[in-house]
Structure 1
């Protein structure tokens, strides 16, 4: 069952001082105000100016006024979020945003002592992420959608509103008489996520009672299953070694072999192979029956090679 915003914040226990990623939209505005009310003097804010639209100046001005009103120190960071070849604008902005948030915490004196960063995605965002994953034929890692908490870049990241319905976030803001800035790009139906928000979510609302709770619960089941597979992969890596030995991989069942390879590449090299790349890699692994058999394949964001009796993954130059 989805929670109210006060209920979600009541169970949120970050280390203090903590920071909020503040875009200026309704969701991050609500998260900042709720945190500032609960932990006065212990909250910081980081605003990332992507510079991708004319509204960027308006967003920054709103963040400056909001944080001044609530006595929250603010750090503003500009980033270059232009996509590279083959990269979507959304992915480019997301990658640049997370890197900039982590860099700000590591280098800006205003954020000294911060180890916890809160992000404002809510239950509707989780449903959109699940539907996007389904549309792409994703496996369990994609269907698990967004985690409520994780660690990266020496930071503890949190999504405390992940159990709160999107409309409830805005209703809470209105009740608090707090303004926010509407992102004009949210109305651009060229983006798949916006089409889901504008067309599919209303259809779900009209067709299925409790659709939000049901789909968020399904994402949670997928996350639990993926956690179990990760534990299995960790045990299998102890047997195969890191990097994995080819003979050990050949002796494994097909499902466990693929699970181990996905886990090793994702957690040790931060790259995700496509299904076709994994299929080609497994075929080459099984074909390595002589010492002279060489292996060189594009896998994820780099290349897989054979190094004596083990696999070796190299990032693309």
Structure 2
């Protein structure tokens, strides 16, 4: 089977209907071959094709590479786009990891529903990825290395060359008389992947010529084991989930340590891309789940934190502090809240309306804030006024959510709080305050 036949078989399996083909196009030999294959496939099947080049600015040759990639895309009659990214330094990540994350984020901006993103990783890349996972001490999930296809944004990420050796890709490029860029950083063995490629894998392949194929087979077996484990444990995870997808600590306590840690991993997998280490998993349970009852424990992980409230563990995404935010609000408008917290609007009351107001009481200028400090309210239907802090505690609002609930104010008086309650002085049946999250 030729390389193009293998490529076509992979893409045919994706059953691409109305979406387009997007090629992650660095200009190296792998992506250059990928572009040629994708261009040929798109012409034969009348599919739109887009080559996206990510300009990291790490090399003095970066501008020249961009120009060459654009020229090659034109030669293939493929639409071209370039994304310039700036890598964050000092974040604790390696330069390789930072560049990879920036690259996929940039590529993801071009993916719409039904699209497939093609990247040029091959059989030798898979072996390198598995060795890097071994170096990190990864478990079966990490040793699964790269999937041949996976959901990505609104579409899918597909690696059609994953079972093709680097040597075969280079032979194809030479046969097609293709040109490509040579990134000088690829010979820099200070980078782990380059060290493996230049120093370790040649020795392994000389001793065991089928090493890359064997590593790929092991990765597939690990991936199958992970999928089976997930299939078996998902129903048990559902039993442990409470309101707002929190993990019930009491239910989790009934499981063995082994199962509990796997359930924690499965739960976190839906929330963050970087899995916790063994030590972090133990600490999540010992220092957060089993902390003293009057404590407010927290453990920070990549992209968020683990918190505890009302006997449950919660994943809280990293977010902006909106405590000082405030905005005047003409009540005939929809108010867009900061940090993706939704919108506020006043509408005609619905059948099950909870927060309804008397428009005649809304005589002064209104504003919306998030800081409850020092404020009091007398919720309609309850006796007496209380501090918002106490009301939040009574309503069992987790501490980390209390400064992310919009508070409607008239002067220095609380009118209503989110979708929780309306103050007695402003209660009526004329309109409903809706917090659409």
TM-score w.r.t. structure 2 length? 0.67
Question: What is the Cα deviation at residue 270 of structure 1?
Answer: 3.8
Alignment correspondent of 2:310? 308
> For 1:5, which of 3, 6, 17 is the aligned residue?
3
Q: Label 1:60 to 1:237 Cα distance change in 2 as closer, same or farther (>3 A).
A: same
In 1, Cα distance between the equivalents of 2:3 and 2:90?
37
CA contact (8 A) 1:22 1:29 kept: yes
> For 1:275, which of 274, 278, 281 is the aligned residue?
278
Question: What is the Cα deviation at residue 21 of structure 1?
Answer: 0.7
Larger RCO, structures 1/2 (Cα 8 Å, 6+ apart): 1
Structure 1 SS opposite 2:96: helix
What do residues 39-91 of structure 1 show as CA deviations (whole Å, max 9, x unaligned)? 21532211111111112112112211111111111111111123342111111
Q: State which drifts further: 121-130 or 36-45.
A: 36-45
Question: What is the Cα deviation at residue 294 of structure 1?
Answer: 4.7
Give 1 or 2: higher strand fraction. 2
What do residues 13-58 of structure 1 show as CA deviations (whole Å, max 9, x unaligned)? 2425211110100000000101111221532211111111112112
Instruction: Determine whether 1:230 maps to 2:236.
Output: no
Q: Which runs of 5+ in 2 are unaligned?
A: 320-437
Alignment of 1:129-168 (within 5 A): 129-168=129-168
Alignment of 1:1-317 (within 5 A): 5-13=3-11, 14=14, 15=16, 16-40=19-43, 42=47, 43-105=49-111, 115-241=115-241, 242-284=245-287, 287=290, 291-292=293-294, 294-316=296-318
Question: What is the Cα deviation at residue 292 of structure 1?
Answer: 3.9
How many aligned positions are there? 308
Q: Label 1:38 to 1:299 Cα distance change in 2 as closer, same or farther (>3 A).
A: closer
CA contact (8 A) 1:18 1:114 kept: no
State the structure with more CA Rg.
2
Structure 2 SS opposite 1:39: helix
In 1, Cα distance between the equivalents of 2:255 and 2:269?
19
Q: State which drifts further: 258-267 or 19-28.
A: 258-267
Question: What is the Cα deviation at residue 11 of structure 1?
Answer: 1.4
CA contact (8 A) 2:145 2:219 kept: yes
Question: What is the Cα deviation at residue 10 of structure 1?
Answer: 2.8
